[in-house]
Amino acid sequence: MSIINAYYSGFTNYMSGDYSISQWKTDDIENLPDSLKPEGKGKSKISFSVKGYKVELLKGVLFQLQGTWSVGKNGMIGFDLKSAMPVEPTGADGRIAYLSSGLIKGIGNKQAIAIEEKFGPDIFKILKSNPELLLSIPGIGVEKLKKIKSSYQKTAFVKELHELIGNEEISLQMAYRIYQTLGDRALERVKSNPYILVTKANISFPIADAVAQKLNFSSTAKERIESVAEYVFSHYRVEGHLFLPQDFFFQELLKYLNTGTRKVTYEQTAEQVQKLCRAGSFVVESNNRIYPELYAKMEKETARKLCEMNHSPIQYDKQKYSDAVNKFLRSVNISLSVQQDRAIRFALVKRAMIITGGPGTGKTTVLKGIIQSYRNANPQKHIFVLAPTGKAARRAAEATGEAAVTVDKMLYSLDNDEADEIKDAFQNGLVICDEMSMVDALKIWRLTSYFTANSHFVMVGDADQLSSVGPGDVLRQLIMSRCIMTIRLDTVYRQGEDSAICTNAHKINNGDAALIYNKEFSFVEAATDEQAESLMENIFLNMVKLHGYENVAMLTPRRKNSLIGAESMNKSIKKRLGIRSDKVVHANGQDFNVGDRIMETQNNDKANNGDVGTITGIIPYKEDDKLLYKIEILFDGNSEKVTYSQGDMATVTLGYSVTIHKSQGSEYAYVIIPIMESNKGMLKRNLLYTGVTRAKKGVVLVGQKDMVTYAVNSVDSGRRNTMLAEFLYRYEMEKRTQGEDEK
């Protein structure tokens, strides 16, 4: 990592949002690498390009730049920026340039001159300790002073944070994010308790701990133990765990606590953890399982609510409900299997119930039957159909003919203080949630928090698919508890040569690697990742020509760190397509052009997590003399475009290829899946099963057949740490005991 003092030359080659490539100059020759020092007498300056995010392009201000040097093929010198700190000048002209540069918002050139004349070299002390003195300068009132203070505090915070943490450890983007999270008193708060960098700003524990050591915090401080505990849990939450076994938890804590010269004993750590437990931060459950308090609360309250619903029987007219089902059967003129018939009839009279089954087992028919039969019997009540993602909700709506929304949108409506009418309908109607395997512990907790003992909830999903991206293993835990009535649909209606997808999905799920290969389900051999990449590109682009982007998906086991991962495939396909436009938006580490396929990765008011669409326009405009862009996107399945700001694009990625995890809840006509040895660690039965079951008309596997066999035979043993089933069983036993005592 190199450090150099330099000035912005005033010329910018490229700018998109927070990213820029600009020209700089320096006479700080001593700090240049020998290979870059100018040759010849009288040469005391060099020019170079700076590439980076949130670069302050301010003329006349000296910056200390930190980053790495590079020399392009054309001999041009480049600097990949990690951070840029303004250097406070010592001369009068430098101070005026600094104050009027725009670095401190609210001070123009005339005011900068007036400030210099009145305060001279003391101005930076005044800005730091007594900024109210600036009110004596003409043109600076209370509101403008607020802007000046906030702007200077932000710059000062970033500078002091770098001094505290060290330039090597923190990027400029990270520093700004910390300031944005902690507010104007950010530095004061960090000095008071540096561990809030972990608990509030999502900074790694080792970085926060290094700051604390500089500030002489005790190695056994409560804040230290609490933050490392949160840091450890944040790691394992990503893997789906809600609790950690006590011995393992302490092992992980001590691994981070005992680095360098700071040593803590097991006993000292245990003492602080006990205090945190007494304070309610953590909960110790049976068999020494340690939960963050919120996670334990989530699982317990979910279990308690479902148990209460179980013990509040629905009062109904048997003949009326039987007639309602028979009316549905007459309207569709089909014969149901015994399990389908049971599923529909029990779903009408059980407060909480699960219907599970693989592809082709008739879940859609059952869903239609439940909805129509319920409406026949209860025409005055509301039916709410939910799904975890926008795509899954659209699929549910298309399949059932009933309006469907995402779980998040439903929760947003229920969270509204003025939503009493919706809450009443939700609590007293029928709620159906499809694709339940994708619902995590937080979502089921929030959803069930709006139920009463008299609510009615039907859960539908395939328990053999991948677990939710978020923590918990909700569907499998509820089934495992044996406390919620579960009906498994096991008769396959689509099978044989005409439905190789369905047949192979069931073979995979049953551990049978002797798959059927034909036009519908094909295999293309690839010996290397490079060969697989080329084949996948060709297959994808040929299929897109025939069927359109919205009908073809490339699903990968990995997102990154793989030539055949989603990130790499997105870049290579975009390059192959040659998509370019005059206007480019740089966000989230990617360039976006008109014509790009993109995917939204979070829920917002314009799209849902997992929605895929096409950029149809990039519209430039100016704000505060800064060139910005609006991005027009047409999402698949929508007739109207939506407009994104550059900030909105932070949650958008290229969408030619997605991970199998991300594809859950989606359905495509055709899917392409790489099955290569390089991804061996990811190749599990449920991963392949989930990928294959996304397709309706065709599957192409690209790779090595022995890896298909390996995937089919590899059962994911990564059991998630959750006690939902145990809590539910515990409450069920309490209810039964209570009922016996009351007899």
Span 456-496, pLDDT tens digits: 999 999 999 998 989 999 999 999 999 999 999 988 875 54
Q: What is the pLDDT of residue 167?
A: 56
Span 588-613, pLDDT tens digits: 778 899 999 999 988 788 888 788 99
Q: What is the pLDDT of residue 90?
A: 85
Q: Please give the C-alpha separations between residue 45 and each of 4, 5, 49, 662, in angstroms, as whole numbers.
A: 12, 12, 14, 51
At 148, list the tokens: 């000046």
Count other Cβ atoms within 10 Å, centred on residue 297. Answer: 13
Q: What is the pLDDT of residue 158?
A: 78
Burial 562-596 (b: 16+ CB within 10 A, else e): bbbbbbbbbebbbeebebeeeebbbbeebbbbbeb
Q: Given pLDDT bands bounded at 50, 70 and 90, which one contains residue 179?
A: confident
pLDDT at 497 over 60: no
At 559, list the tokens: 């997102």
Q: Which span out of 68-72, 215-219, 590-594, 701-705 was modeled with the highest average pLDDT?
A: 701-705
Q: Do domains 300-489 and 501-703 have the same CATH topology?
A: yes
> For residue 626, how many C-alpha atoms fall within 13 Å in the half-sphere facing its CB?
17
Question: What does the alpha-carbon distance between residue 144 and residue 148 come to, in Å, rounded to a whole number?
Answer: 6
Element (H, E) at 722: none
Q: Which residues pair with 47 in a beta bridge?
A: 25
3-state secondary structure of 625: coil
3-state secondary structure of 617: strand
% of the chain exceeding 90 in pLDDT: 62
Residue ranges per structural domain of the chain = 2-161, 171-288, 300-489, 501-703
pLDDT at 261 over 90: no
8 A C-beta contact, residue 671 and residue 539: no
Question: What does the alpha-carbon distance between residue 544 and residue 551 come to, in Å, rounded to a whole number?
Answer: 8
3-state secondary structure of 171: coil
Span 11-21, pLDDT tens digits: 888 776 677 88
Question: What does the alpha-carbon distance between residue 424 and residue 414 come to, in Å, rounded to a whole number?
Answer: 10
Element (H, E) at 316: none
Q: What is the pLDDT of residue 678?
A: 94
Burial 246-259 (b: 16+ CB within 10 A, else e): beebbebbbebbee
pLDDT at 368 over 90: yes
Any idea which architecture 2-161 has in CATH?
A: Beta Barrel (2.40)
Instruction: For 165, list phi and psi in degrees, rounded to 5.
Output: -90, -35
At 377, list the tokens: 């019997």
Span 4-45, pLDDT tens digits: 999 998 888 877 667 788 999 998 888 888 888 887 655 678
At 504, list the tokens: 């192979």
**Per-chain mean pLDDT for the chain:** 90
Q: What is the pLDDT of residue 717?
A: 62
Question: What does the alpha-carbon distance between residue 708 and residue 705 come to, in Å, rounded to a whole number?
Answer: 5
Q: Which residue has better confidence, 730 or 579?
A: 730
Q: Given pLDDT bands bounded at 50, 70 and 90, which one contains residue 314?
A: very high
Q: What is the pLDDT of residue 650?
A: 84
Least confident of 80-84, 141-145, 246-250, 322-326: 80-84
E runs forming strands in 393-541 = 404-406, 430-433, 456-461, 485-489, 521-525
**501-703 CATH pick, 3.90.1330.10, 2.60.40.1730, 3.40.640.10, 3.40.50.300:** 3.40.50.300
pLDDT at 98 over 60: yes
Question: What does the alpha-carbon distance between residue 383 and residue 493 come to, in Å, rounded to a whole number?
Answer: 27
> Vertex 516, ends 360 and 398: CA angle to 5°?
25
What angle in degrees, to the nearest 10, is found between the helix axes of 407-415 and 441-448? 40
* CATH level 3 topology of 300-489: Rossmann fold (3.40.50)
> For residue 553, how many C-alpha atoms fall within 13 Å in the half-sphere facing its CB?
30
| pTM, rounded to two decimals | 0.82
